[in-house]
Amino acid sequence: SKYIPAASLQTLLPYIEKEQLSVGFVGKDFCRFNLINDWSRNFAKKLELGAGDVAALIQHEDIYQLSAFLPPENEAEFLRRCPGCLAVRWEDDFCDILPEDGGKPNGLAHTLAHLGLTREQCIAFGDGGNDVTMLEYAGIGVAMGNACEEAKAAADYVTDDIMKDGLAKALEHFGLI
């Protein structure tokens, strides 16, 4: 349960307000946007998410991730305004902002330690840019056939598309079923 320090979020708020950036603030059981704009409208509508007073929200809720709608060229400035965080990009207009010590590989490491397993005993599946570091960390990284090129390049094995039984085919390939 790594969360973004409230002080970092306070530093970020004036910047996203000034630049009119649409950012989803993700907690344990919620996601609330500071504003919904043309970049985030479809995403917010599809997931039935709304906008609200995020300044008040961060006073009493832990925020584990930000879903930031911004182009790659704005990423470095965004991170400068949100110290202690890193960006994991899904696509050109959207990225996840996580605590520096968070993310999928760290979550995987903690899960493996809890189970008494090593990373060599682990297989991970992914399809997006946000899965690259997890695929690299796992003993076996499997990219789905519908994965982005970055995920495929990071994987040890590329299986079929998820909708074409890619998961089952990969498990069969590795003799797990």
Provide the pLDDT confidence category of residue 92 given band limits of 50, 70 and 90. confident
At the fourth CATH level, which superfamily is domain 104-168?
HAD superfamily/HAD-like (3.40.50.1000)
For 170, the 3-state DSSP assignment is helix
Residue 81 is encoded by which pair of tokens? Answer: 């305004």
Report the alpha-carbon distance of residue 12 to residue 19 in Å, rounded.
Answer: 11
Q: Structural domain boundaries of the chain?
A: 6-99, 104-168
At 47 the pLDDT is 85
The yes-or-no answer to whether 6-99 and 104-168 have a common fold is no
User: Alpha carbon of 157 to those of 29, 91, 163: distances in Å?
Assistant: 34, 22, 17
What integer is the mean pLDDT of 142-157? Answer: 95
Class of 6-99 in CATH:
alpha beta
The closest alpha carbon to 78, from 34, 132, 131, belongs to 34
Provide, rounded to the nearest whole percent, the portion of the chain with pLDDT above 70: 100
CA–CA dist 16, 173 (Å, integer): 46
- Report whether pLDDT(1) > 80: no
Quote the radius of gyration of the chain (alpha carbons, Å): 18
Judged by average pLDDT, the poorest of 10-19, 46-55, 58-67, 137-146 is: 46-55
Arithmetic mean of pLDDT over the chain? 93
Q: Are 57 and 32 in contact (CB under 8 A)?
A: yes
Query: With bands split at pLDDT 50, 70 and 90, how would you rate the model's confidence at 32?
Result: very high
Average pLDDT over residues 75-81: 95
Other C-beta atoms lying within 10 Å of the C-beta of residue 54: 23
